[in-house]
Amino acid sequence: MQHENVLRAVANRLTVTAVDDLPRIAGLLAAQLANCSLNLQFADSKANTASVAVHKLKTRINSLLQEKSIAGRFTGAVLVKASIDNGGENVLRVTESWARGLLNCMNKPDTVEVKTLYLITLTRIFVLTQDDPALVREITTPLLPTFIKTTLNLIRPTSIRTSNGSKNVASPLLSSVLTCWIRLLPKYASVFRPFLNQLKPICVSVIADIEARAPQRDLAIRLLCWLLWSIPKTTIIQDSISMGRDLINGAHTTADKVFRAVVEEHESNDPTLGRAQGDITMASLFDVYTLGGKFAFANWSSYRSNSSSHGDNRSIWQAWE
């Protein structure tokens, strides 16, 4: 009886309080729901005397998620998160409409913090439904692809104008979205499979971005590893080899740019890479060391004295004077 009264009080408070004032009491209402046996109250049985209060609460949360103001949508997301975290299977069975409402909220022009709350709440719903085939069939299977498409749009880089022209800036939601994907992909690998061609370039671009923060690169690396779970069994060997080769080639390309002043004689173990030939063998002529962030060569003078015998290579060394 006490839990029923708490549920009824929360529903009444949501109804009589102005929408703009709800964020101030959202934490209090969430705490009250946490102390209420929601799984028992949401049970669908004739003996349940709290059915009226439950229906009123569900309806009010649905209406809040469809509010035009950010205050209503934020409060609705807070209450959904509190309900699913402290409820059980009976609460999850009524979350389909809430999940659809949260998906619509993600397309609204809300702040980064509020959109992060939407992402966390939806991810939590999908994670909690994994152990129930009926819930997976009713909620996750139809809604998770829409969630992935929406998050792909959320992390599109924005172009800003600078004194040197335009510049692409990473989305502030990038880390949150990558974290959600990492949580969901091992559990629903088959659902992520159609999006592999979109997720791989995102991971690689984050890893290669010199302006990306270290935590973002770590998340991208983890997600890139988890993508192997979504590869079909018939092509996993070929795709894994291809992914590894692409990463190695990318590392070689980066090293070529970093050491572009060094002319080397190198024969790759991979016949597909061909042979990169230089005019001299660096190890035999020079001791290369780092000096002030650049490369210096110990036997510079001896090489310059014989530079005429090396033709066009002289211009390479002149650039480092």
State the Cα torsion 244-246-248-252 to the nearest 10°. Answer: 180
Decide if 62 contacts 97 (C-beta within 8 A).
yes
Which pLDDT score, from 0 to 100, does residue 1 have? Answer: 57
CA-to-CA distance for 315 and 302, rounded, in angstroms? 16
Per-residue pLDDT tens digits for 45-92: 555 667 788 888 899 999 999 999 999 999 999 999 999 988 888 888
Q: Per the structure block, which two tokens stand in for 101?
A: 């409402």
Name the residue among 266, 268, 286 with its Cα closest to residue 278. 266
Which helix (H) or strand (E) segment is 122 a member of? helix 112-128
Which pLDDT score, from 0 to 100, does residue 45 have? Answer: 54
Taken as a whole, the chain contains a residue count of: 321
Q: Quick one: fold of 1-154?
A: 1.25.40
Name the residue among 145, 133, 61 with its Cα closest to residue 95. 61
Place of tokens 């510049």: 167
Per-residue pLDDT tens digits for 9-51: 888 999 999 999 999 999 999 998 888 877 777 776 555 667 7
All residue ranges of the chain with pLDDT < 50 are 274-321
Place of tokens 């709350």: 117
Contacts of 197 (CB under 8 A, 6+ apart): none
Which helix (H) or strand (E) segment is 249 a member of? helix 236-258
Which pLDDT score, from 0 to 100, does residue 87 have? Answer: 81
Decide if 192 contacts 147 (C-beta within 8 A).
no
Q: Where are the domains of the chain?
A: 1-154, 186-258, 266-318
Which pLDDT score, from 0 to 100, does residue 275 have? Answer: 43
**Terminal CA-CA length for the chain:** 86
What DSSP state is assigned to residue 88?
Answer: -
